[in-house]
Amino acid sequence: MSHDAVIIGSGAGGAAAAYELTRLGLSVLVLEAGPRFEPATDYPHDEAGWERRRFPRKAGSVAEIRYGDLGRTGPHDPALPSWNAVQGAPPSPDGRRQPGGGYSHVRGVGGSTLHFVGEAHRLHRDAFGLASALGAGADWPLSYEVLAPFYLQAERLIGVAGPERQTGRPRDAPFPFAAHPLNTAARRLADAGVALNLPFEANSRAVLPVSRDGRPPCNYCGQCSRGCPIGDKGSADQTFLRHAARSGRMTLLAEASVLRLHPGRDGSIAALDYRHRGRTHRRETPMLILAAGAVQTPRLLLHSACPGMPEGIANGSGEVGRNFMETLSWHGTGLVPGLRDSHKGLPADAVCWAQNGPDGVPGAAGGCRFTSSVQEIGFTGPIAYAQRLLPGFGAAFKDVMRARFGSALTVGATGAVIPDGRSRVRLDPDRHDPDGVPLPVIDSVLTENSLTLLAHMAGVGRRLLSECGVEPVAEQISSWDRFTATHAFGTARMGTDPSRSVTDARGRSHDHPNLWITDASVFPASGGGEAPALTIHALALRAAQHIVAG
Amino acid sequence: MRTIGGPLRTNDRAIDRRGLIGLAAAALSGLAPLPAAGGDRAVAAATLDAFLDTLLPADAASPAAGAAGVGPEIRAIADGADDPRLKRLLALGTEWLDGLDARPFAALPATVRTRVLAWMEGADRGAVPGRFFLVVRTLAVEIYYARAEAIAGFPISVAPQPAGYPPPWG
């Protein structure tokens, strides 16, 4: 069976592309390397012991990643290293570590949206012109206004709930739903923010407050990152892919790993090889959309090098794999006397955008944002309190656990990353996966800008915690010594100059007329800490419309 | 270079011990080289159970760690761990506990056992007693507080679903 388009990856970008192409009448084949997940059985959260279960792993659902240069940890601000009140500080290495898996991702039908918290963020309007404004990083080759209609389209399809107005993000129409209520920790943080001139507002969330489109409303279990068993979270499998499947024009193969792309004589990508159920298949690609994410997309492009393209597919600029941008983050947690029920409600329910613009932080480029993150970071059950926040033992310890459970409050801060020549995704020269494809290697080094931002985020975070009444700070997790990227960007960036970018402003490869990239690898700039999923959706919807328009 | 990701597993609803094993492995980081085994030392189960019951004793609302089955699960984790240091640490730690007095640790009065744990809690984590305390505590609280009977009196449901936590809150 032939299809009008082949899409590699079914995460945020692949799913949105599949949805829009099928909506506009095209047939698509989606090749997803990972497995399917069944929410009701794979992440039920309905039994004792739920806290010991993370987002489930299935065969093929986590890619093998190698880590190269993650940078050195030098002289530092005492507020920067990671530690907690129970474990203390780990032995100080010379370099950053990647505990808990490093690049946090899910390979599966729905991609990393399956385990995302579901923040639905537009980029700050001014983030599109970072380089022009501050001489740092790169500009987007399009404006907020160009992307706005596609943001709105995605918000409506998903059912995003958000406030009437959002700092730095002008709107032509309201969110489909009003914002979710703030939980106890978020309300305390919002009060503290007023005192420090750091106003918090309700976060925009891809989570339904009411039934819609066959999906129920959220019941505020607080476990978004463990997977949503009831379907209120707007992950790609529950939204874009459901609609694409209903069209009858989508074929989705799970556990289908693309091995290599084959260029044709006319400069297009003629075909690809993929492995499915133990056999290798070749499929022609009249139109090819690559949406495998900022690590796997460059990996495939580089691996598909051939005699006529020794630097890889779509790599006339030499930028494939380069400009890798990780997630710059700082989280501080403590217990607040008298606070209760902080484990209840919607994770990441409140956000402060006051410093999110490109010039939002003095002395650093790109900006940052602050979030109420107590559930997002895992303080929703007693195990986390016992392992991280509350030392001690015996009867007294058990009494304290009982008395203080539910009183944790976390300030999460996420900031911009400026691309650096040392940060990239490359191919391992020695190690391969079982299909013979070289493993990807991530190099990611913190620049002076990142360190300045991080110190600022930590300082503001601690002031917020103090204003909230935290006594004392019991945990700190920081990118300074931990590489734990949940968001990764930049490794096939878009731009107007083919010598310095991989795709044009629509996401189409400069080098191959039928190759489009619709994932976060096309981001020329990370933004000031925004979650990227909504921007990926918008870019993919726009790219799909351009594909159909020819 | 370091590798993350590896053996691929079939999903089921069983507890994922990889996280706990990973935590234990991380807690072993920086531990001074353990004394030579001099033959395989066994983990003294009764000693470990007494340690656990001192760590997490029974109270009016909830059972002790022993009654909650924590000891056998820790020993099973140690038996199944790729890193042999975990089992050796348990063996050396229980041997150390039993060597404090002519009586085995489990036979000591509760007040004495409590003082021992208090000392271990503040001891050098680069050596066996301090590291044993840290590692066993890390494992024990995860296993214990995953039990429904352990969270009696907590403002939390046994599981977040199917009821969730609809507002109002606080």
Cα A180 from Cα A178, distance rounded (Å): 7
**Distance in Å, alpha carbon of B93 to nearest chain A alpha carbon:** 17
Report the number of secondary-structure helices (H) and strands (E) in chain A: 11, 20
**pLDDT at residue B38 in the model:** 42
Cα A136 from Cα A45, distance rounded (Å): 44
**pLDDT at residue A97 in the model:** 78
Q: Is A173 exposed, middle or buried (0-12, 13-18, 19+ CB in 10 A)?
A: exposed
For A21, the enclosing helix (H) or strand (E) is: helix A12-23
Instruction: Choose among A52, A65, A229: nearest Cβ to B15.
Output: A52
Separation of CA A519 from chain center? 10
Cα A365 from Cα B55, distance rounded (Å): 49
For A291, the enclosing helix (H) or strand (E) is: none
Directed axis angle between helix B70-80 and helix B128-145, to 10°? 120
**Would you call B21 an interface residue with chain A, using a CB distance cutoff of 8 Å?**
no
3-state secondary structure of A22: helix
CB A281: neighbour CB atoms within 10 A? Answer: 14
Instruction: Choose among A44, A99, A397: nearest Cβ to B161.
Output: A44
Sheet holding A368-372, edge to edge: A83-84, A473-478, A328-335, A408-415, A368-372, A350-352, A201-202
Report the sign of the C-alpha dihedral through residues B35, B38, B39, B43, in that order: negative
What amino acid occupies position A11?
Answer: G
Q: Do residues A538 and A157 make contact, with C-beta atoms less than 8 angstroms apart?
A: no
Q: Do residues A480 and A81 make contact, with C-beta atoms less than 8 angstroms apart?
A: yes
**Distance in Å, alpha carbon of A547 to nearest chain B alpha carbon:** 36
Per DSSP, A126 falls in state G
Closest CA to A378 of A103, A52, A99, A58: A52
Which chain B residues in 69-98 lie under 8 Å from chain A, judged by CB atoms?
A: none
CB A467: neighbour CB atoms within 10 A? Answer: 18
Q: Do B3 and A406 touch (CB under 8 A)?
A: no
Tokens read off for A61:
């659902």
Neighbouring-strand partners of residue A424: A322, A443
3-state SS string for chain B:
CEEECCCCCCCCCCCCHHHHHHHHHHHHCCCCCCCCCCCCCCCCHHHHHHHHHHHCCCCCCCCCCCCCCHHHHHHHHHHHCCCHHHHHHHHHHHHHHHCCCCCCHHHCCHHHHHHHHHHHHHCCCCCHHHHHHHHHHHHHHHHHHCCHHHHCCCCCCCCCCCCCCCCCCC
> Tokens 């607080």 correspond to what residue?
A222
Q: Do residues A352 and B166 make contact, with C-beta atoms less than 8 angstroms apart?
A: no
Cα A339 from Cα A361, distance rounded (Å): 31
Sheet holding A256-263, edge to edge: A256-263, A269-276, A279-284
3-state secondary structure of A284: strand
Q: Do A222 and B121 touch (CB under 8 A)?
A: no
Closest CA to A100 of A378, A299, A328, A406: A378
This prediction's pTM: 0.95
3-state secondary structure of A300: helix
Report the sign of the C-alpha dihedral through residues A398, A404, A406, A409, in that order: negative
**Distance in Å, alpha carbon of B116 to nearest chain A alpha carbon:** 12
Cα A487 from Cα A376, distance rounded (Å): 14
Q: Do B16 and A54 touch (CB under 8 A)?
A: yes
Cα A77 from Cα B81, distance rounded (Å): 37
Q: Do B1 and A68 touch (CB under 8 A)?
A: yes
**Would you call B154 an interface residue with chain A, using a CB distance cutoff of 8 Å?**
yes
Q: Which residues of A touch B19 (CB under 8 A)?
A: 52, 54
Cα A85 from Cα A390, distance rounded (Å): 7
Show the CA angle centred on residue B51, arms to residues B46 and B57, nearest 5°: 110
Cα B141 from Cα A333, distance rounded (Å): 20
The end-to-end CA distance of chain A, in Å, is 23
CA torsion angle A237 A242 A248 A254 (round to 10) = 20
| Residues B54-79 as b or e (16 or more Cβ within 10 Å = b) | bbbbeeeebbbbbebebbebbbebbe
**Distance in Å, alpha carbon of A257 to nearest chain B alpha carbon:** 15
Q: Which residues of A touch B56 (CB under 8 A)?
A: 393-394, 397-398
Q: For strands A269-276 and A424-432, give the pairing.
A: unpaired
Instruction: Choose among B9, B159, B167: nearest Cβ to A47.
Output: B159
Cα B71 from Cα B60, distance rounded (Å): 21
Q: Which residues of B touch A388 (CB under 8 A)?
A: none
Closest CA to A14 of A259, A237, A256, A261: A237
Cα A184 from Cα B55, distance rounded (Å): 32
**Would you call B138 an interface residue with chain A, using a CB distance cutoff of 8 Å?**
yes
Q: Which residues of A touch B69 (CB under 8 A)?
A: none
Cα A260 from Cα A270, distance rounded (Å): 11
CB A246: neighbour CB atoms within 10 A? Answer: 11
Mutate to test the interface with B, among A52, A385, A389 (most CBs of B within 10 A): A52
**pLDDT at residue B1 in the model:** 45
Per DSSP, A275 falls in state E
Instruction: Choose among B54, B62, B117: nearest Cβ to A398.
Output: B62
Cα B144 from Cα B161, distance rounded (Å): 20
**Distance in Å, alpha carbon of B62 to nearest chain A alpha carbon:** 9
Q: Do A66 and B57 touch (CB under 8 A)?
A: no
Q: Do A91 and B29 touch (CB under 8 A)?
A: yes
Cα A322 from Cα A446, distance rounded (Å): 15
**Distance in Å, alpha carbon of B50 to nearest chain A alpha carbon:** 12
3-state secondary structure of A303: helix
Cα B4 from Cα A69, distance rounded (Å): 15
Tokens read off for B109:
């009065």
Separation of CA A351 from chain center? 16
Per DSSP, A104 falls in state -
**pLDDT at residue A99 in the model:** 67
Instruction: Choose among B138, B150, B161: nearest Cβ to A45.
Output: B161
Closest CA to B89 of B97, A241, B106: B97
Per DSSP, A389 falls in state I
Q: Which residues of B touch A387 (CB under 8 A)?
A: 23, 138, 141-142
3-state SS string for A142-198:
CCHHHHHHHHHHHHHHHCCEECCCCCCCCCCCCCCEECCCCCHHHHHHHHHHHHCCC
Instruction: Choose among A100, A339, A395: nearest Cβ to B57.
Output: A395
Q: Do B160 and A223 touch (CB under 8 A)?
A: yes
Mutate to test the interface with A, among B51, B55, B141, B143 (most CBs of A within 10 A): B141
Q: Which residues of B touch A184 (CB under 8 A)?
A: 169-170
ipTM entry: 0.93
Per-residue pLDDT 10s for chain A (550 aa) are 799 999 999 999 999 999 999 999 999 999 999 999 999 999 989 999 999 999 999 999 999 999 999 998 776 777 789 999 999 987 666 678 776 668 989 999 999 999 999 999 999 999 999 999 999 999 999 999 999 999 999 999 999 999 999 999 999 999 999 999 999 999 999 999 999 999 999 999 999 999 999 999 999 999 999 999 999 999 999 999 999 999 999 999 999 999 999 999 999 999 999 999 999 999 999 999 999 999 999 999 999 999 999 999 999 999 999 999 999 999 999 999 999 999 999 999 999 999 999 999 999 999 999 999 999 999 999 999 999 999 999 999 999 999 999 999 999 999 999 999 999 999 999 999 999 999 999 999 999 999 999 999 999 999 999 999 998 999 999 999 999 888 999 999 999 999 999 999 999 999 999 999 999 999 999 999 999 999 999 999 999 999 999 8
Q: Do residues A517 and A355 make contact, with C-beta atoms less than 8 angstroms apart?
A: no
- CA nearest B136 in A: which residue? A387
**pLDDT at residue B43 in the model:** 86
**Would you call B112 an interface residue with chain A, using a CB distance cutoff of 8 Å?**
no
